[in-house]
Amino acid sequence: MIKVAIIGAGIGAKHLVGYRALPDRFAVRQVCDLDLTRAAQATGDDPDITLTDDLDAVLADPEIDLVDICLPPHLHVPVAVRALEAGKHVICEKPLARSLAEMDLLEDAARKAGKQVFPIFQYRYGLATAQLHALIEAGLAGKPFVASAETHWNRQPDYYAIAWRGTWAGEAGGAALGHAIHAHDLLCHFLGPAREVFAQTATAVNEIETEDCAAIALRMESGALATSSVTLGAGDDTSRIRICFQGLTAQSGSAPYTPAEDAWTFTARAPVTQGQVDAVLAKVAREVPGGFAGYLAAVADALAGQPGREVTLADGRASIELVSAIYSAARQGGMVHLPIARDDPIYTGWQPDDR
């Protein structure tokens, strides 16, 4: 049984639902938040969960195996490093870090502690992605050609009533970072890492510091080309992924926050037949844990010595490197090549105040 402390009861409330779906693998023992009323609402006054506003006490508790960080982005690495130094494994919300230099600090702390860090990318888990993995493993997908991602969400001024949102210091970035980061992770998960990036960004929807629109073009290591369209000025919240492989085209539904749990279509391309595709799909178990439950099941497997499905610290670094390249390309007005060198100014942070 993995004993957990959740730090931050905002998005942490959704994490708690995931843990409760796996009662044989996890036990949430503490929820830490400066607002104890919010913490009580998140837990439903569960008598088995201690509520506290004392982070030091949580980190000093020998019973806690895993610290789940659900705080504003500028606190992610400082708190994660403290948790690692206290001998805890770490789960951390996105973005994992605010620069590649911060990633170096986090990786060094994890290595010294001998503990694991799991970035949050729960969009990877669900029936649809299990189906696509099965088609790839069966050899039916073949070479990826192109892909497109849409993150078209609606964020009104009231969303930014929380003081740290929409700021470089607090949120660390805008739509390209905090909103489209999951779609970009899915693209890289299925197409391989990005190697060339071109991007344009704009602040057009709300009066904020950070961008709320972006148009991004990627060339992946696999040779595939991908585009990402991002806005917080849509009429509703819609996420969509479409990937054209040599043997089939995979297309998501439009569910904004749980794309892998939505119904996808898989359309064969000759010489692959639809019958071959459908035969593989029929063998995929329908009851696949999705979202946070699927993500946490993979974490539990990794901690039990059965890795392979979890989101790794290396995945988190790749995500932060892509974010760095997006902001660098948008500011330079040209193509950025990855990996990013240590002497590149963007390595130490994309926030304007850091440059």
Task: Read off the pLDDT band of 354 (50, 70, 90).
Answer: very low
Sign, Cα dihedral of 21, 25, 27, 32: negative
Structure token digits, residue 150: 């849409």
Q: What's CA 46's distance to the chain center, in Å? A: 28
Task: Record the tokens describing residue 295, joined without a space.
Answer: 């993500």
How far apart CA 291 and CA 134 sit, in angstroms, is 18
- Amino acid letter for position 275: G
- Tell whether the model's pLDDT for residue 355 goes beyond 60: no
- Opening angle at CA 189, ends 184 and 191, nearest 5: 90
Q: What is the pLDDT of residues 42-101, one digit of tens each?
A: 999 899 999 999 999 999 999 999 999 999 999 999 999 999 999 999 999 999 999 999
**Residue 232 contacts residue 213 (beta carbons within 8 Å):** yes
For 183-198, b/e burial (b = at least 16 CB within 10 A) is bbbbbbbbbebbbbbb
> What confidence tens digit (pLDDT) does each residue in 309-327 have?
999 999 999 999 999 999 9
Average pLDDT of every residue of the chain: 96
Three-class SS state of 106: helix
The stretch 8-37 carries a mean pLDDT of 96
Query: Sheet of 117-119: strands edge to edge?
Result: 50-52, 26-32, 2-7, 66-69, 89-92, 117-119
Residue owning tokens 């997908």: 141
Amino acid identity, residue 124? R
> Which whole-number Å values give the CA distances from 120 to 141, 222, 262, 319, in the listed order?
27, 24, 19, 11
Domains for the chain: give ranges and CATH numbers. Answer: 2-121 (3.40.50.720), 123-303 (3.30.360.10)
CA distances to 55, 289, 305, 307, 309 from 300, rounded to whole Å, are 24, 13, 9, 9, 10
**Predicted pLDDT at 353:** 62
Token pair for 251? 């297309």
